Structure 1
């Protein structure tokens, strides 16, 4: 049984609906979903704010490549277009960590290389897994991350999965 941490984000169109499409599309595998957060874009800053969340999934016979493929399928279904690095997008599904696996393959870097410094990943992850550990970096709670500019959106609740 593999277990993965996915970071999801959207800043174009119906941002919340795109996040919900991930929970719906992975519903048989979802074991936890964080609250939704809103953050300003970084990288290319002249773009709309993002909605972000973390989804923890688990499934038999699904390895890190399987989680990557599923994430990309959901991105494609949401009309994701890759025009500019860190540019606006309908949906972004990043594989943050899978069972402590490390990978330096150019198509699948694990753990996700920017996760250790991104409040958009770490803050929601800690909401659903306070004892989370990022391989190669240690306990997520010990990583220096600023909550500045990260706004929890309690009015937006991702649904359609069952807590175990």
Structure 2
């Protein structure tokens, strides 16, 4: 019962705190959810002499830092592996690898739900921002952001196997 009271009293404030820092409603939702999960999991170790507000925002701040650090490390690994295996364009192997990567991306896009694919293509291939896409497709900017996030997640997952294979092959 006490947790419910804390949750309903502080959820919006924590969400807007994170949103202010990141300007991403997706990250704000994820970090807010993780903050309250951590609060629940570590409820026995919360200090009785400190206000719940300060403890909650400390948890939110460290959760945000952890979330951003993990995301940055993952993106750096992906970029590093892609850079490592990007060959000069005039190189025959580079051309083959580029064609294979383009074919793989085309297949991933075909497997996406139609709206996700359309939103992703408008963003990445046509250079439209979230607001433009939302206006053109009569969607909310939040929905556009979610579609793009899910598309990137799907691409990373599918290419992750290929990148892992390339990393494994490089050891030989």
Taking structure 2 as the reference length, what is the TM-score of the superposition?
0.22
- The answer to which structure has the higher strand fraction is 1
Larger Rg: 2
- The answer to which structure has the higher helix fraction is 2
More relative contact order in 1 or in 2 (CA 8 Å, sep 6+)? 1
